[in-house]
Structure 1
Amino acid sequence: MWTQRDLTLKPVRRGFHLITREVVSALPELSGVRVGLLHVFIQHTSASLTISENASPDVRRDFETYFNHAVPDGWADFEHTLEGPDDMAAHIKASVLGSSVSVPVREGRLAMGTWQGVYVCEHRDHGGPRRLVLTLMGES
C-alpha cells in the first residue's frame, strides 16, 4: 500500500514547532498499516524537519538559541542578501537539519520513542505557510 498526501502548515513564528499531531491527522490510512514507513518531506529551502524531544518547551527554545548562535542572521560574509538578513542563514540551517524525516510505522502508529516528536523548524521571521509531502508505505 502506498498513499501520498500534501499537508500545508499554517505560518508559525521562527522556531521549532511540534507537528506530529498534524501529520498523523492528515493520514487516516495510518491506522490500517501493520508495518511500514512514513516519509515526510518539506518543499522549502528555508525551513526544515527533525525529530527530537516532545515534552519540554525548553528543548525547542534551546534549539533555536543554538542555531541562531551557530548561523547568525545578516553575517557580513554572506553574498546572498537580496531576500533579507534572515534568508541565507535560514538556507544554511535548513541544509544542516535536512528536508525530510522517515518514521517507522507499527500496528497503525508511528513507532517513535516515548519522548520523540516531529518538528517543523522555521528559520525565517516571516516564512509563511509550509508545504509537506507525506508518503506512507506499508502492509495492512
Structure 2
Amino acid sequence: MTSGKSVTRSAPSTVQATTISSSLLTVQTSGHGFTDLTSEAAGFINEVHARDGALTLFIRHTSASLTIQENADPSVLVDLATALSRLAPENAAWTHDTEGPDDMPAHVKTMLTGTSLQIPVLNGRLALGTWQAIYLIEHRKRPHRREVVLQFVGSNQ
C-alpha cells in the first residue's frame, strides 16, 4: 500500500560522547503559569561549548512540570492552562489536601505533562522547531522557587 507521501532521511552522523556538563537552574515562579526556559537552555549549551549530543532538563518537583510548546501565539498557553484545569480541577474532592486545594491537582497536572525533557543538540544548537519553546509550568497558585537540572551529554567544540 502506497500513501503517496514522501519520506526522506539525512545521512547518519556519529560523534564520540566525551562531555557531560551539568548545571542547576533556579526559577522563581509567580504562581500558576508558564515560564519560558529556552534562552536559559540555549545559553547553557553555548557556555559548555556543546557541539552534538543531547540536553536533558529535569525538574526536581512534583507540583510543577516541563513541556515543549508553541512560542508564537500566547493564547496557546492560556488554552493549555485551561485544559489542564479542566482535567484536574481544584474542586474535585481530592483526598490529599494537606497543602491546600491546589496541591493534588498540581500533582495530577505534573503527571500529565512530565518532569523531564530531552532535546537533541546539533552543531551547537538546540534542535527545536521554529515555533517550539521550553517551558516550566507552575501548577500551584502561590510563587515557588523551582530547580531544574540541565545536563548535556555529547561532544563539545
Whether TM exceeds 0.5 here: the answer is yes
Partner in structure 1 of residue 135 of structure 2:
119
Is 1:133 matched with 2:149? Answer: yes
Task: State which drifts further: 66-75 or 88-97.
Answer: 66-75
Partner in structure 2 of residue 45 of structure 1:
62
Q: TM-score, normalised by structure 2?
A: 0.83
Partner in structure 1 of residue 118 of structure 2:
102
* Alpha-carbon distance in structure 2 between the residues aligned to 1:61 and 1:97: 15
Deviation, 1:127, is 4.2
Is 1:83 matched with 2:99? Answer: yes
Contact 2:28 2:144 in 1 (8 A): yes
Q: TM-score, normalised by structure 1?
A: 0.93
Unaligned 5+ segments in structure 1 are none
Structure with greater Cα Rg: 2
Deviation, 1:63, is 0.5
The letter for the 1-side match of 2:140 is R
Partner in structure 2 of residue 4 of structure 1:
22
Partner in structure 2 of residue 25 of structure 1:
43
Contact 1:16 1:61 in 2 (8 A): no
C-alpha RMSD of the superposition: 1.3
Deviation, 1:28, is 3.7
Contact 1:52 1:118 in 2 (8 A): yes
Unaligned 5+ segments in structure 2 are 1-18
The letter for the 1-side match of 2:107 is H
* Alpha-carbon distance in structure 1 between the residues aligned to 2:37 and 2:67: 10
Structure 1 ranges of 4+ moved more than 6 A: none
Contact 1:74 1:89 in 2 (8 A): no
